[in-house]
Amino acid sequence: MGREDTKFELHCGRYCLNLSKRTHLMGILNVTPDSFSDGGCYFGLKDAVSQAHRMAKEGADIIDVGGESTRPGSHSVSLREEIKRVIPVVERLVKELHIPISVDTCKAELAKRALDLGAHLINDVTALRGDLSLGGVVAQYEVPLILMHMQGTPRDMQSNPHYESLIPEIIAFLRQAMERARQAGVEEKNILIDPGIGFGKRTGHNLEIIRRLSEFQILGRPIVIGTSRKSVIGDVLNLPVGDRLEGTAATVACAVLNGAHIVRVHDVKEMVRVARMVDAIVQGEQYA
């Protein structure tokens, strides 16, 4: 279990993250009115910036700003609306924080505007299928890109997700996504992959992905995973979104043990502690 010997360094502008040394934490900042967990909590600029500062203080290595909900059943928002939500926040954070700022978007124009302001990486849940121009923008700015697996779209992904062979199908999808990125000019060193917990998967699928996460190492790229507060935890423990901290901790611990390089979380303080403890267990004598 755990990471293979491959060394991954992620260059994000003036920041360099050694993903092979320890697990990195990506703090989720949803500047939306309707995200499944914290929609509306940080919709205003002041609240969003304050939350980002809080997560950075608690140990987040990256802040991931998203202006469009991708919860099951959600509809896409216009480019104009997404720009209105995201750009003022990014503009503040790149000036005020001393960690990389990621933008969770599939829209090339929004990505370009954010990168012009100094954002450091792009997180695309559509894996370059949503906007064919996005790959070229990422290549132009030479920033890292997260490619995530999703069956369907947020609007219909949970209607009837089905797989003949779950892990091989997701790996094949991510291979194709990586090839799209390379064809667009994105360098291999800047590609990260995410198996997409909750995106077109049933509870059993999500549990299997976490259990078999190490198999994604075959792709040779850093693994990002986001289990925080998701429905798989609610389904197993029969708990509402606001009461899934311990369940999230269990999934984060298993993901780290099985080779995750970056975990996306809402509860940064608690999950930093979980990740550090599991890192120490994995590293053993080397930790000291």
- Name every residue whose Cβ is closer than 8 Å to that of residue 229 and which is 6 or more positions away in sequence: 36, 37, 241, 244, 248, 266
Q: Which residues pair with 28 in a beta bridge?
A: 64
**CA Rg value for the chain:** 17
CA atoms within 13 A on the CB side of 187: 9
Whether 264 is catalytic: yes
Q: Are strands 224-225 and 62-66 parallel, antiparallel or unpaired?
A: unpaired
What distance in Å separates the CA atoms of residue 282 and residue 260, rounded to the nearest whole number? 12
* DSSP for 122-150, written as a single string: EEETTTTSS-TTHHHHHHHHT--EEEE--
Work out whether the CA dihedral 225, 179, 80, 60 comes out positive or negative. positive
Tell me how far apart the alpha carbons of residues 213 and 28 are, in angstroms, rounded to a whole number: 21
**Within 10 Å of residue 136's Cβ, how many Cβ atoms?**
17
Among residues 7, 230, 244, 269, which one is catalytic?
230
Active site residue 230: yes
- Catalytic-labelled residue, pool 22, 264, 273, 276: 264
Q: Are 134 and 111 in contact (CB under 8 A)?
A: yes
What phi, psi does 96 have (nearest 5°)? Answer: -100, -25
- Indicate which residues carry an active-site annotation: 230, 264
